[in-house]
């Protein structure tokens, strides 16, 4: 059973940066595709980016290009998301989630989805 445990809440000043961690257990971290999703108060889910180890690739949503950096530390099975130049509208709960690609051995069909989520980290940006 995969478990993703995130770091605690943060309060940041506008213009500063925040780095949120996501420690994984119960899986094979070196193969895990860890993504980051945020949810502003009362709003929907928004994908920021993700790291795909098998492709040695990190992808970011266009909206956050240049402001978000996703890294991983295999020695501690921990993923990190750093968001810079914070603004008040970055106030949100930030989630990490594992993307899983499933292959149905009977039909040969494949699918991809987020199967495990962290508990979320509240980031408040306020002067």
Partner 1 sequence: EIVLTQSPGTVSLSPGESATLSCRASQTSSVSYLAWYQQKPGQAPRLLIYGASSRATGVPDRFSGSGSGTDFTLTISRLEPEDFAVYYCQQYGSSSWTFGQGTKVEVK
CA–CA distances in Å: residue 86 to residues 13, 64, 126:
7, 11, 9
2/31 Cα distance (integer angstroms): 12
Binding range to partner 1, per CB under 8 A, among 10-18, 22-30, 81-89, 106-114: 106-114
Q: What are phi and psi of 50, to 5 degrees?
A: -160, 160
Q: How far is the CB of 127 from partner 1 (least distance, A)?
A: 27
Q: Does 47 bind partner 1 (CB under 8 A)?
A: yes
Q: Is 59 in the site for partner 1 (CB under 8 A)?
A: yes
Would you count residue 105 as binding partner 1 (CB under 8 A)?
no
Q: Work out which of 40, 45, 85, 126 binds partner 1, going by CB under 8 A.
A: 45
Neighbours of 12 (CB within 10 A): 17
Nearer to partner 1, 19 or 112 (CB): 112
């Amino acid at each position: 059973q995969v478990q993703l445990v995130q770091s605690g809440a943060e309060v940041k000043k506008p213009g500063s940066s925040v780095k949120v961690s996501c420690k994984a257990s119960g899986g094979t971290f070196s193969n895990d595709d860890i993504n980051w999703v945020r949810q502003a108060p009362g709003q929907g889910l928004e994908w920021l980016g993700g790291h795909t180890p098998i492709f040695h690739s990190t992808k970011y949503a266009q909206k956050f290009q240049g402001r978000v950096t996703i890294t991983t530390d295999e020695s501690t099975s921990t993923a990190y998301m750093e968001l810079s130049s914070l603004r008040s509208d970055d106030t949100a709960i930030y989630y990490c989630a594992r993307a899983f690609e499933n292959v149905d051995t009977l039909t040969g069909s494949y699918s991809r989805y987020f199967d495990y989520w962290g508990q979320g980290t509240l980031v408040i940006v306020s002067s």
